[in-house]
A and B are shown apart, each in its own frame.
Chain A
Amino acid sequence: MGAGSLIALMIAAIAFSGIAILISKIVLKSTTNKQKGEPYECGLPTKGPSWIQFNVGYYLFALIFLIFDVELIFLYPWAVVVKGIGWIALVEIMIFLFILFMGFLYAHKKGALKWQ
């Protein structure tokens, strides 16, 4: 079975929660009022339009995050095979991490990680 069962599980999970919502939709009489639309323990009500121009600073953070995200992804296969391949794999990942650490050092020193 393998992957098939995993997907079957995922679909079952989606279906389970989906059916629960569906039943409550059918059984309950829906009412709408203003209070119901407000966020509950999920932050403050918005003021003004929410479609505003974002600060470019978010983008910088997201990009640096993305690069380290991809870097971390490579660590998974490394962790699995490092024992089998031996010290050469250790050297390889050290070089890789060192090069990206230089990038981190640069971004940090340049103040790119500081909110402005």
Chain B
Amino acid sequence: MNAIILSAIWAVIMMLGSFMVKRKGNFRHIAAFGLLVLFVANIADTYGYSLFNFNNHGFLQFTRFGYLFNSIAIFSSLIYVLITGKEISRYGNHTAEYFALIFFVMCGVSMLAFYNNLLTLFLGIEIMTIPLYILTGSDKRNMKSNEAALKYFLMGSFSTGIMLMGIVFSYGGTGTFSLDVSRAGIPNLYNHVASFLEIVGLLLLLVSLAFKVSAAPFHFWTPDVYDGAPSVFTSFMATIVKAAGFIAFIKLCLVRMTATSAAIDWKMIFAIIIIATLLVGNITAVFQQSVKRMLAYSSIAQAGFMLFSLFSVNDFAKEGILLYSAAYSLATIGIFAVLVKMKDYTFEGYNGLAKKQPLLAATNTVFLLSLAGIPLTAGFFAKYYMLAAVVKTGSYLWLVIVAVLFAAVSVYYYFRVIQAMYFKDGNAETEAITPSFKAGLLLVAALIILIGVYPGIILNWLYF
């Protein structure tokens, strides 16, 4: 509860700050402080120190899983603001508002971590995505940014419409918005489990949530939007927001889809989506010339891996998705932090970075290795948990083999960047690099290796 209300309050503070604080540079310090407050408040909340206690009538459910995810999301955004916060002030003179919108997104993310009702799911998704449409189009003079914002807005509204339709059908089938349904007394059960209306509703919900996490075949918006949006905000969208989408999705799967699994083969549906997502993401990423666009496709490919947790809804999957969101968020934030400093976003732009900026190249290598899932980095254990979860379910084992094959493909395009940095001669131009930026990158790289060596550092929080 702390995180939801405090993030809304901090968003208002940033809004008011936009005309009360004169110095533009101060905003990111206020924002970083706010995220720190959120982080502390959320951890306090985890151990029962809640500032706001009122009966929410079952709209929210506070579980350890939600708290831990929320902590990870807030911590990642804190890192994000610390490393790339400076770049946000580049776009127009609405810096404070951009931070306010980021806090609104955090409010939505916290709602999704705790939701227990389709109504709060809808509100959370909306609070999370509406600021994103704005952030996507924040570079107003750039036509690409405008186009991306319009595309994202139109497609996003349609998917929200589909989600509402799904909620309505589900309500028609069960008579409640709550996630937990007492299935006795529902008329006209299909296979003795659920009303057919509910299943249609869940299918529509699946479509709209798959859109939000950019799973194929609902991924078409992703490359254009991620490529067109200002890189700073792409970094935010591709990490924290996407992870929150998955958390919302897995909660729906854990409750509603597990309960109706006798009526419809969700596993098969997810298997098809996973294969399509891995195929589209990995194969298309290979052919990209721009690193930013490659990262957009790679984020689709990573979503394919995260979808395994929805396929195999068990304890391993729950642990895995937390680990995956931490590993993926940290690595992607790091890569984008380096990317926004580059003058040229193509692979050639990275040529010879190792000679000019050895530290940037070294940390970037760690991030890329983590995304590829090389041992000793966080990405390895994240992928390992996902695949182990599938093995635990005991069905569709061939999915694991396919996933490993595609992970091997992904190594190719991640290593292209490393190859450009280390083994190609060139004159990689960067903007001015400050020592604090370097320190931030080092911190992220250290965290990734720490999680990669000892994943319990995150997962233990789930239990005590």
Contacts and interface: CB of A to CB of B under 8 A. Distances in A.
A102 B12 contact: yes
Contact of B12 (A99, A109, A110): A99
B136 to A, nearest CB: 18
B463 interface: no
A105 interface: yes
B47 interface: no
Interface residues of B, number: 6
Nearest to B100: A106
Contacts, number: 14
Interface string A94-108: 000001001101100
Contacts of B12: 99, 102
A42 B68 CA distance: 63
A105 B20 CA distance: 12
Contacts of A109: 19
B273 to A, nearest CB: 36
A109 B96 CA distance: 14
A31 B46 CA distance: 80
Contacts of B174: none
A110 B8 CA distance: 20
B15 interface: yes
A99 B127 CA distance: 15
B16 A110 contact: no
Interface in B1-54: 8, 12, 15-16, 18-19
A6 B15 CA distance: 46
B99 to A, nearest CB: 14
The bracket for how many chain A residues form the interface is under 10
A105 B17 CA distance: 12
A106 B11 CA distance: 12
A111 to B, nearest CB: 9
Nearest to A102: B12
Contacts of A105: 16
Contacts of A106: 15-16, 18-19
A77 B216 CA distance: 43
A37 to B, nearest CB: 39
B108 to A, nearest CB: 15
Interface string B340-359: 00000000000000000000
Contacts of B18: 106, 110
A109 B20 CA distance: 10
B313 to A, nearest CB: 36
Contacts of A99: 8, 12
Interface in A8-34: none
A106 B329 CA distance: 32
A86 to B, nearest CB: 15
Contacts of A110: 18-19
Contacts of B8: 99
Nearest to B8: A99
Chain A CB within 10 Å — which of B15, B16, B18 has the most? B15
A112 to B, nearest CB: 11
Contacts of A103: 15
A111 B18 CA distance: 12
A106 B15 CA distance: 7
B101 to A, nearest CB: 12
B323 to A, nearest CB: 36
Contacts of B15: 102-103, 106
A102 B19 contact: no
A26 B62 CA distance: 71
A46 B450 CA distance: 71
A99 B8 CA distance: 10
Given A103-B15, A106-B15, A110-B19, 8 more contacts: A99-B8, A102-B12, A102-B15, A102-B16, A106-B16, A106-B18, A106-B19, A109-B19
14 contacts: A99-B8, A99-B12, A102-B12, A102-B15, A102-B16, A103-B15, A105-B16, A106-B15, A106-B16, A106-B18, A106-B19, A109-B19, A110-B18, A110-B19
Interface of B: 8, 12, 15-16, 18-19
6 closest A-B pairs by beta carbon, nearest first, are A109-B19, A106-B15, A102-B12, A110-B19, A102-B15, A106-B16
